[in-house]
Structure 1
Amino acid sequence: MAQTRFAPDRGLTRRMVVTMFLLGLLYVVFVAVLITLGVRAVVVLVIAGAILLVQYFMSDRIALFAMHGRVVSPQEAPELHGMIDRLCALADMPKPRVAIADSDVPNAFATGRNQKNSVVCVTTGLLRRVDGGELEGVLAHEMSHVAHRDVAVMTIASFLGIVAGLMTRVALYSGLGGRGRDDRGGLPIGLIILLVSALVYAVSFLLTRALSRYRELAADRAGALLTQRPSALASALVKISGEMARIPTRDLREAEPFNAFFFAPALSGKAGLAALFATHPPLERRLEQLSGISAQLGQGG
């Protein structure tokens, strides 16, 4: 993490290191299996690497384009710029570009590979529904993602999933399933590749989703400590989650693919097994953490 005044989070650092180690180990095993099976995975690796580079260097442009966001000047949004200027001064970090997306879904996101190439975007729906203190809490949360380089970490972490997904498609659509058998006369090599790729994809998916959920908790904590107003962030979470229920389902489903970027998920999964696939922790868990921070700061529940 670059040097800022955002509270350091050793738990986040440990989880990033452990997740990257496990994904790297999984990658080595996966490639070893492919080599053993005689698969030439060079083309897949090149394609996956190209996708990774595009995501890494153009994540801000892609996200803004997908969300119909546009960068706004201080003259166009003076209050929003003023709030981000204040947070940048508090955090001692470069100012990101400021954008607004014309969407009634109340949300915000931050993206960019580093602090000098980042953008913080809020929706018009969010600006209409929260007050100044709540908006500041949301912005502090998003700027914490920038300070922790979360987008870069999650992009790199997704690489193995991209490779495994591509290998699965190759096995499905190139007729590998019926080509050749292993040395013991067992399953077709293509079917083995398909099964191994699907397993690797599932494991990497679960690891990155677990990291994503903790990443959101870490951003809540860092944002709340920076502003010293955890109750405002908690209020924003409750208000945004409540307002989501009033948004047409069609609009929420259109926004759902961007949940990993959002401050709050457009559509939340149900508790239980579905929680393993969620990009964000449950609302109750986030509020519980913020309540604990309020108690630490002597501000009550």
Structure 2
Amino acid sequence: MVIDWGMTIRKIIVYGALFMLFMIAIGFLVLMGVNAYLIALMAGGFLFIQYFFSDKLVLWSTGARILEENEAPRLHSIVENLAAEMDIPKPKVAVVQNDIPNAFATGRDKRHAVVAVTTGILNRLNEREMRGVLAHELSHIKNRDMFVVTFASFIVSIVSYVVYFVFAMLFSRDERNYGASMLAWLVSMLFSNTIGVIIINTVSRYREYGADRGSALTTRDPDALISALRKISGGDYNREDAMGLESAKALCISPIAGSVMELLSTHPSIEKRIAYLERIKSEL
């Protein structure tokens, strides 16, 4: 398999920077005299909850229903064949009653994964295009991308706490000064909703490129995914359907809503993704 060294190096830089940010945050807590046991309990607790329960929350909030094999034999067959080609366990298959054509994968590891598709995407794509989309989602599972996003969110949570702690110390030495505490909380929220969002979304965009590449190399048919992306992107859907997928927006193959700035987007633009797939096609 041909390795995209440019993309691989950029991913290493992003993930390395993420890890360094985490170590710096922990270092700040230690220097400020926060009890080591409290740091371990806080960090471990956040990671445990996000790792073991985030997938269940996503499935519950989107209304995803696990499909038995006799309910959708063809869909199960495509997933089973792709999983065998990728040498991963076959994930569970779920459907979401939602007219937005989309799909996502969730689960804490390869053995506890779920691939979910909306009724909207089932009604719009042909079998070849669905194969490209499902290969994209199984690539997320193979690449352990669900954990990557969980870990990125975890680091942002920890750093937000550090920001709160630092500014609470700077604004006031009086523990009863609730105004200073509130101001510190607002600063930490501003961080998590600006720099934190940029960090998570940068990681998310690299995940999408990686999954697109995985789909193209597994199916040997980049045009299938290109055709699917063109069909499912840029539609105008009602607010209720969009809100129904809000909790899974970073996991979906197509963004629920566009962003005026790429830094604030969970996905690369469709044009960039198609251009990337075209380059892979030339490699094949």
Alignment partner, residue 245 of structure 2: 255
Separation in 2, partners of 1:99, 1:196 = 37
Match of 1:282 among 259, 269, 272: 269
1:239/1:224 Cα in 2 relative to 1: closer, same or farther (>3 Å)? same
Separation in 1, partners of 2:188, 2:28 = 8
What amino acid maps onto 2:208 in structure 1? E
What amino acid maps onto 2:251 in structure 1? F
TM-score (norm 1): 0.80
Shift in Å, 1:294: 2.5
Q: Is the aligned partner of 1:180 residue 2:173?
A: yes
Shift in Å, 1:91: 1.7
Written as runs of structure 1 = structure 2, the 5 A alignment for 1:1-301 is: 14-37=9-32, 46-167=41-162, 178-180=171-173, 202-242=194-234, 244-245=235-236, 247-270=237-260, 274-297=261-284
Shift in Å, 1:209: 1.8
Aligned sequence identity (%): 37
Shift in Å, 1:193: 8.8
Separation in 2, partners of 1:167, 1:30 = 6
Deviations 1:155-192 (A, max 9, x none): 112222112334556789xx7675229xxxxxx89968
1:232/1:125 Cα in 2 relative to 1: closer, same or farther (>3 Å)? same
TM-score (norm 2): 0.84
Separation in 1, partners of 2:16, 2:186 = 24
Query: How many residues align structurally?
Result: 279
1:29/1:195 Cα in 2 relative to 1: closer, same or farther (>3 Å)? farther
Shift in Å, 1:21: 2.7
Q: 34-43 or 63-72, which moves further after superposition? A: 34-43
Shift in Å, 1:67: 0.9
Question: 2:171 touches 2:184 (CA, 8 Å); kept in 1?
Answer: no
Shift in Å, 1:30: 2.8
Deviations 1:198-243 (A, max 9, x none): 558754542332121111011111101111111110111010014x
Shift in Å, 1:100: 0.8
Question: 1:176 touches 1:191 (CA, 8 Å); kept in 2?
Answer: no
Separation in 2, partners of 1:124, 1:190 = 44
Deviations 1:98-123 (A, max 9, x none): 11111111110001122111111101
1:54/1:149 Cα in 2 relative to 1: closer, same or farther (>3 Å)? same
1:65/1:170 Cα in 2 relative to 1: closer, same or farther (>3 Å)? farther
SS in 2 for 1:22: helix
What amino acid maps onto 2:242 in structure 1? L
1:151/1:198 Cα in 2 relative to 1: closer, same or farther (>3 Å)? same
Deviations 1:10-39 (A, max 9, x none): 556544543333223223333444454556
Shift in Å, 1:47: 4.2
